[in-house]
Amino acid sequence: MRVKICGITQAQQGQAIAALGATALGFICVERSPRYVDAQHIQQIIQTLPTTVDRIGVFANASLTDIEGVLGIAQLTGIQLHGDEPPEFCAQVKQLFPHLEIIKAFRVNTVESLSPISEYVEMIDTLLLDAYHPQQLGGTGKTLNWDMLDKFRPAQPWFLAGGLTADNILQALDSLTPDGIDLSSGVERSPGDKDIPKVTQLLNNLSKIN
């Protein structure tokens, strides 16, 4: 299972989390986010990481020019679109960056929230399901209603996100079978400041089901 820890802001913490066994690290490229890091800072962190770790830039309603600007500096391996990007925009991103993984996030608050996913099948590589919040795009600590996903069987691999912690991860995975999990606030002391003992506990708990 893929384990993505999102909202990395410090090189030392990124190194420690990668060493613990996380398979992907996420960098927030949304300026209004408290976890925002600019492209130069992202690249400085990336240079300290093993090449085996996926490096995902998280964008929300960014322009193609903005995305290109970040990728011209930071050696990312994937692009996560976490806003209200339509399928056509995702197709443009995929065409521009065919060598990168394209992840599309969906904020879910009802079963009906899952309906638009089918429109994105050809435009993306991976899905990410996050909890809906009316003011914030992610990193809220709000938990998804996992019961809504009991019949969710998408065509693409998918990440489960939304309020996951070391304490509830086994419960979440008891009935759901995502291809990966994505955590941010659930392994933090404060936004962007990761709590390494919490990451350690998370991975220890995951080892019980592998």
pLDDT at residue 134 greater than cutoff 90: no
- List helix spans (H) across the chain: 11-20, 39-46, 64-71, 87-96, 169-175, 196-207
> pTM, whole model, 2 decimals?
0.94
Q: Which one of 29, 54, 90, 130 is the catalytic residue?
A: 130
188 bridge partner residues: 194
pLDDT at residue 2 greater than cutoff 90: yes
**Angstrom distance (rounded) from CA 179 to CA 40:** 31
pLDDT in tens, 94-124: 999 999 999 999 999 888 889 999 999 999 9
pLDDT of residue 200: 98
- The domain tally of the chain equals 1
127: domain CATH number is 3.20.20.70
Q: Which one of 6, 29, 54, 182 is the catalytic residue?
A: 6
Cβ of 112: how many Cβ atoms within 10 Å?
9
Residue 6 known to be catalytic: yes
> Using an 8 Å Cβ cutoff, are 11 and 200 in contact?
no
Higher pLDDT, 22 or 109: 22
- Please give the torsion angle defined by the CA atoms of residues 31, 78, 144 and 8, in that order, rounded to the nearest 10 degrees: -50
| Domain extent for 132 | 2-207
